[in-house]
Amino acid sequence: MAKKIDDAPGLFLIGGIIKSQLKAEDRQVVEDHISTLLQVHNLVILIGSGASFHLGSPSTRNLSTKAVEELIIQSGGTVTPHDGLLLIALNPKDSGDLEKLLNGLQLAVALSAQAGDLAITLGSGTDAKEFEVDEVEALRKKIGTALAYACRLPGGSASIDKDYRDDPLLAHRRFISRIVRSRRANLPRPRVFTTNYDLVIERALDTLGYPYIDGFSGTVDRRLNLAFYGLDFHRVETTSQQVLARAESALYLHKIHGSLNWRAVSEQHSTTGVESVEVRQVAEDAASDDERVLIYPTTAKEGDTLAYPYSDLMRLLGDAVQQDDTAIISVGYGFADPHINRILLRSLAMNPALSVLVADPSAVLEQEDLDAASQRDDIIGKSLMEAGLNPKNTAVSALAQGSDSRIAVLTGEKGKFTAFSELMPDPATDSGIASPAAVADLLASLEAVLKQSTKTHPTGEGNRND
């Protein structure tokens, strides 16, 4: 029988010390900590690809050549014999990292261009093969297209976790609504930063009916205008146009690595004639490979962040985490991007009023260590090493072992995005405020009653007492 999430092993650490095993009797420690962070003055949410795994987000590591070829075919591309040979040359162990594959192809093209050659030789000895630069570049584009296609989420039913096939956006709606509705009305809006290309967050916000600012202006012709991050939503009295109050349930969304529905367009200003590059929002599949505004997972991505619009979006992240009384809640982000890590670590060094909570299911301990830890009652109040556990050599594990009391790490099953969203405080039960789902159910019930009443009393006079 499958293990229930409530019974699944896990650990919650603060300042390198184990505070909770996430059992029913000590889970309140975690919930109280999250509740406290949600009430800080400035709340920053960092969401990575792990938040989309339950929706079929593609794996980019330990890929066989066949798996890469299948990704290309699923996106509508074709795999030529030369593509297969090139993949074998770049992935000789048949367990490739998509980032390294893209990086290898990119470097091969750049090296050929620098040398003025039309072909490049890969491999050595009898395994050496010559490939035309056009073939190398064509494969790079195919893999980029395949990656973008695979990020069109939610994926097919078979790729979605069974608990979310009927309602793929459930966890994202739950996560967002609990963040927004848990915060006091007088606090600044939450700021969500994500490295994901997919449009799952936007779809969840639209389903909830929450207003949000994503840095774009316009309605039909939507263009990136970062000045819009300085705006807010307020309710206005319709007759006098007097501001009544700040609108509820709004947030800011920053897609710091680009988005599937962003397209780069070079155009001339209508008045000055000066040429510039604009970023527009389009249909999800409307942009071609060369037009997509995405930072692909290569070693060049840190350099890519120096270009527009990424440099401006990274600056906004840096500004957000430097404010007084700030908390960062990171979920699904594995700290694999040095340009983001640098901002977060420098902020920890410079901002004593910064707290960080990292949720990750598997980056700290192997599963057998998690299972063993759940059976012991003597590890509370100890570090991982003192408890005789063997931490992994990862960035998240290093954070979990650090002695800084401002850093908390949640690992194990509860570190998954889906489970973490359930662990967050629910205003519907904590404060008597109805959740969006409860309100939707109530409206549906009322509509059903009204329809039935109309059928029974078409004139609407059946219940009058004259």
**Looking at residue 155, what is its pLDDT?**
86
Assign domain 5-55+158-427 to a CATH class: alpha beta
Gyration radius from the chain CA atoms:
25
* C-beta atoms surrounding 374 within 10 Å: 17
Using the CB atoms, write b or e for 313-332: b if 16+ within 10 Å: bbebbeebbbbeebbbbbbb
Q: Which residues pair with 18 in a beta bridge?
A: 13
**Looking at residue 440, what is its pLDDT?**
54
pLDDT in tens, 334-393: 998 899 999 999 999 999 999 999 999 999 999 999 999 988 989 999 999 999 999 999
**Looking at residue 187, what is its pLDDT?**
94
Q: Is the alpha carbon torsion for 158, 160, 163, 167 positive or negative?
A: negative
Alpha-carbon span 203 to 129, nearest angstrom: 46
Domain boundaries, the chain: 5-55+158-427, 65-150
Alpha-carbon span 33 to 25, nearest angstrom: 15
Question: Is it the case that residue 252 has pLDDT exceeding 70?
Answer: yes
**Looking at residue 431, what is its pLDDT?**
47
Between strands 191-194 and 42-47, the pairing is parallel
Alpha-carbon span 201 to 203, nearest angstrom: 5
pLDDT in tens, 287-309: 666 567 676 655 555 555 557 88
Alpha-carbon span 421 to 427, nearest angstrom: 13
Question: Is it the case that residue 441 has pLDDT exceeding 70?
Answer: no
Reported pTM: 0.84
pLDDT in tens, 324-336: 999 999 999 999 8
Residues 30 and 433 sit within 8 Å (Cβ to Cβ): no
Alpha-carbon span 201 to 191, nearest angstrom: 13
Residue 7 burial (10 A CB sphere; 0-12, 13-18, 19+): exposed
